């Protein structure tokens, strides 16, 4: 399936796709009249959930993800 065919009016400036188990994540760099943002979409068997991350929050978001990742590694695997 071509993701751009259902991504809205403006095509992404850049896209990354991550496949993990039954989930697919799309990270789309987009732009509108308010500025640039990242649209993060999770697709699970056709059901989609999306968040919009303004570029102004990107560094803080990435830092927080890093802290969450470090904490998860310290806790160890649950599998």
pLDDT tens, residue by residue, 17-57:
999 999 999 999 999 999 999 999 999 999 999 999 999 99
Token pair for 22:
């039954």
The CATH code of domain 3-75 reads: 3.10.450.700
Phi, psi angles (nearest 5°) of residue 63: -60, -40
| Least confident piece of the model among 2-6, 7-11, 15-19 | 2-6
User: 10 pLDDT band (50/70/90 cuts)?
Assistant: confident
User: 1 pLDDT band (50/70/90 cuts)?
Assistant: very low
Domain-wise residue ranges, the chain: 3-75
Which residues does residue 15 pair with via DSSP β-bridges, in sequence order?
A: 28
Residue with tokens 């056709």: 46
């Amino acid at each position: 399936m071509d993701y751009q065919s259902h991504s809205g009016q403006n095509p992404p400036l850049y896209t990354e796709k991550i496949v993990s188990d039954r989930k697919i994540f799309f990270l789309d760099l987009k732009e509108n009249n308010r500025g640039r943002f990242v649209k993060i979409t999770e697709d699970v068997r056709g059901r989609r959930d999306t968040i919009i991350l303004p570029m102004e929050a990107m560094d803080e978001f990435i830092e927080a993800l890093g802290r969450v990742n470090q904490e998860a590694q310290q806790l160890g695997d649950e599998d």
